[in-house]
Amino acid sequence: MTTNRSDMTNCGRALAVLATLCAPVVAYSQSPASSTVDPPEPASDLRVQEVRPGLSVITGAGSNVVVWSGADGLVLVDTGLATSSAALVEAVTHVSAAPVKFVIITHGHADHVGGNETFAHKGAVIIGHESLREHGGQDPAVPDGKVETPAVTLASRPVLTTMDALALHLNGDRLDAVHVADAHTAADIVVRLNHADVVALGDIYWNGQYPYIDVESGGSLAGMVAAVEGTLARSNERTVVIPGHGAVSNRVELAEYRDMLVAVGRKVREAVEKGMGIEAILEAKPTAEFDAKFGHPGAIVAPEEFVRSVYRDLASNRPGC
Structural domains of the chain in order of their starting residue, each with its CATH number: 5-16+34-220+234-258 (3.60.15.10)
d(CA 224, CA 220): 6
| Phi/psi of residue 249, nearest 5 degrees | -130, -165
**Whole-number Å distance between alpha carbons of 301 and 309:** 10
CB-based contacts of 167, cutoff 8 Å, min separation 6: 3, 174, 175, 176, 177
> Which residues, given as ranges, of the chain have pLDDT below 70?
1-44, 135-153, 317-321
Q: What is residue 261's three-state secondary structure?
A: helix
Task: Give pTM, 2 decimals.
Answer: 0.83
Q: In whole angstroms, what is the distance from residue 209 CA to residue 36 CA? A: 16
| Per-residue confidence (pLDDT) for residue 76, from 0 to 100 | 98
* E-assigned strand segments in the chain: 47-52, 55-59, 65-68, 74-77, 100-104, 125-129, 160-162, 165-170, 173-180, 188-193, 198-200, 240-242
What is d(CA 283, CA 303) in angstroms, rounded to the nearest whole number? 12
Residues 268 and 260 sit within 8 Å (Cβ to Cβ):
no
Give 119's contacts (C-beta < 8 A, 6+ positions apart). 76, 79, 89, 100, 103, 126
pLDDT, residue 133, reads 83
Supply the pLDDT for residue 16: 42
Q: Which residues pair with 127 in a beta bridge?
A: 104, 160
**What does the pLDDT read at residue 134?**
72
User: First vs last Cα of the chain: how many Å apart?
Assistant: 38
pLDDT at residue 37 in the model: 56
